[in-house]
Amino acid sequence: MFFPPDLPRAGDWPDLAAARAPSPLVVQYLRDDALFPLDGMRAAHERLAEHYRRSGAPDGYAGEFHPGPHRFDRDLQDSALDHLKRLLT
């Protein structure tokens, strides 16, 4: 797994992802994902949204919460493609 050296000293995964602000970012959270606790997902979502608000691009970040376990099924792919279509047209 990719893990930047010394990342914990500078921030956390949401901070790393938010470094791309104001460029668009979509994150799909799965409420029953065994890899990530729901409280952590909510905290990451709030942190990312705040980074994007401060960058002047509050609409640049979209966080989606879906039911179910870790996966990237057709429904999630369709949602991701809808975001890409919106961003690229």
pLDDT of 1 reads 53
pLDDT tens by residue, 8-55: 787 788 988 999 999 999 999 999 999 999 999 999 999 999 999 999
The confidence score (pLDDT) of residue 2 equals 65
Domain count, the chain: 1
Whether residue 69 contacts residue 32, with contact meaning beta carbons closer than 8 Å, is answered with yes
In a domain, 38, yes or no: yes
The answer to the question of residue 2 being in a domain is no
Buried b (16+ CB within 10 A) or exposed e, 25-54: bbebbbeebeeeeeeebeebbebbbebbee
Collapsed DSSP state (helix, strand, coil) of residue 26:
strand
Whether residue 8 lies inside any domain: the answer is no
The answer to whether residue 6 is domain-embedded is no
Tell me: the pLDDT tens digits for 49-81?
999 999 999 999 999 999 999 999 999 999 999
Contacts of range 81-85, beta carbons closer than 8 Å, 24 or more positions apart:
83/24, 83/26
The range of the structural domain enclosing residue 18 comes to 14-88
Does the global pTM surpass 0.75? yes
Residue 71 is encoded by which pair of tokens? 């996966």
Compare 6 and 73 and report the one with higher pLDDT. 73
